[in-house]
Amino acid sequence: MPLRRYIRGWFDDRRAPVILMFHRIAEPACDPWGLSVAPSRFEAQMRALKACRIPLSTADFVSGLEDATLPALAVAVTFDDGYIDNVRVAKPILESVGIPATMFLTTGYLGKQKEFWWDELTRLILAGRAAVEGSLVIGSRVFAVRLPALADAAARPSSTWRAWQPPRTPREHLYFDIWNELRVLDHAAREHGLERVRHLFGQPAPSENDLPMSAEDVRHLVTGACIDIGAHSETHQPLTTLHVNDRRREIQGSRSVCETLAGKPVEAFSYPHGDLDAPTAQLVRESGYRWACSTHPAAIDRARFDLFNLPRVQALDWTAPELERALEKARADA
């Protein structure tokens, strides 16, 4: 790293360090949560970070935060969930550009040949074309389903819809309502609810490119010095919805699997859905982690920070200049 940029990065009080949050490097047909960045855009984003920021591993980022040596231009890259494209697509780009990253794994999905539940729901409802009529009982709610057939791709605007926007179509309304209900169910009840959705909508096979990693994928992921892994729970359940013993099992069990796969201690945790409270953060601390990330969208305040509630800025499918503007804007929220 050029010394001039490091010195400028430390004294530049107009900016603040940022931890970026990614999920997928892919181009799925529907992406209601904006989880995916196209491979070409991701590479451009990484090259922009290399040119304009000071990329650090998350371990070095946290160490600098602790000992008050973290530059204002520092940036760390993280990924949540453990999609297979992280190892197939993101890893080669990160290594080529020279950007370190931490990838947080939902260990209960590894090697299951099964989509994450929110992706399966997206594929069944938003990406479907056939007419569907019937009823669904999920959790405490009954959903009356009456969806017309979609004749062509032009009649399927859900490919551009994002879940933070008001739903525009019956499919989008249904998807969002069922997602909200499934999110807070325990793992078994959620699977039971999904099975009812499968029965009503049919069960088309998922694409291999949309699946989580296998254990062998993770072992390949951590080869080399570029990528570390962290824990992201076992089942991606919002932790505050669970009994304390179940929270502890999710937190500790995920770490145990990650350490076995990495062959070394795992110090980092990411809260599923960014869902945490003080008792949950304390459980993470007591479980032996050194730091943990939330999804609160802000830069890092170097004067006031909580190592077990580090905010992150979610990277969207931005051009490189759009990413740079997002990093600039994040400093105002630090």
Band (332; pLDDT cuts 50, 70, 90): very low
Name residues whose C-beta falls within 8 Å of residue 160's C-beta, 6 or more positions apart in sequence.
none
Q: For the segment 100-124, what is each residue's pLDDT rounded down to a tens digit? A: 999 999 999 999 989 999 999 999 9
Residue 68 has pLDDT above 90, yes or no: yes
pLDDT value of position 334: 46
Looking at residue 155, its pLDDT comes to 54
pLDDT grade for 157, boundaries at 50, 70 and 90: low
Residue type for position 264: K
- What percentage of the chain reaches a pLDDT higher than 90? 87
- Whole-number Cα distances in Å, 268 to 96, 106, 126, 129, 193: 24, 13, 34, 41, 32
pLDDT grade for 158, boundaries at 50, 70 and 90: confident
Average pLDDT estimate for 210-230: 96
**pLDDT given for residue 204 in this prediction:** 82
Contact 78, 271 (CB under 8 A): no
pLDDT at 63: 98
Give the pLDDT confidence score for residue 151 in this predicted structure. Answer: 77
How do residues 9-53 score in pLDDT, each as one tens digit?
A: 445 556 899 999 999 999 999 999 999 999 999 999 999 999 999
Q: Is the pLDDT of residue 81 over 60?
A: yes
Confidence (pLDDT) at 12:
53
Average pLDDT over residues 217-242: 96
Asked if the model's pLDDT at residue 288 lies above 60, the reply is yes
Predicted pLDDT of residue 283: 98
For position 58, what pLDDT does the model report? 97
Question: Who wins on pLDDT, 8 or 229?
Answer: 229
d(CA 277, CA 36): 28
Name which residue leads in pLDDT, 5 or 51: 51
Map the chain to HEC letters.
Answer: CCHHHHHHHHHCCCCCCEEEEECEECCCCCCCCCCEECHHHHHHHHHHHHHHCEECCHHHHHHHHHCCCCCCCEEEEEEEECEHHHHHHHHHHHHHHCCCEEEEECHHHCCCCCCCHHHHHHHHHHCCCCCEEEEEEECCEEEEEEECCCCCHHHCHHHCCCCCCCCCCHHHHHHHHHHHHHHCCCHHHHHHHHHHHHHHHCCCCCCHHHCECCHHHHHHHCCCCCEEEEECCCCCCCHHHCCHHHHHHHHHHHHHHHHHHHCCCCCEEECHHHCCCHHHHHHHHHCCCCEEECCCCCCCCCCCCCCCCECCEECCCCCHHHHHHHHHHHHHHC
The pLDDT, as a whole number, for residue 194 is 96
Confidence label for 247 from pLDDT (cuts 50, 70 and 90): very high
Q: Model pTM? A: 0.93
pLDDT at position 152, please? 66
Q: What is the mean pLDDT of residues 234-262?
A: 97
Is pLDDT larger for residue 47 or for residue 331? 47
- pLDDT of res. 320: 98
- Has residue 285 got a pLDDT over 80? yes
Q: Which residues, in sequence order, are bridge partners of residue 134? A: 145
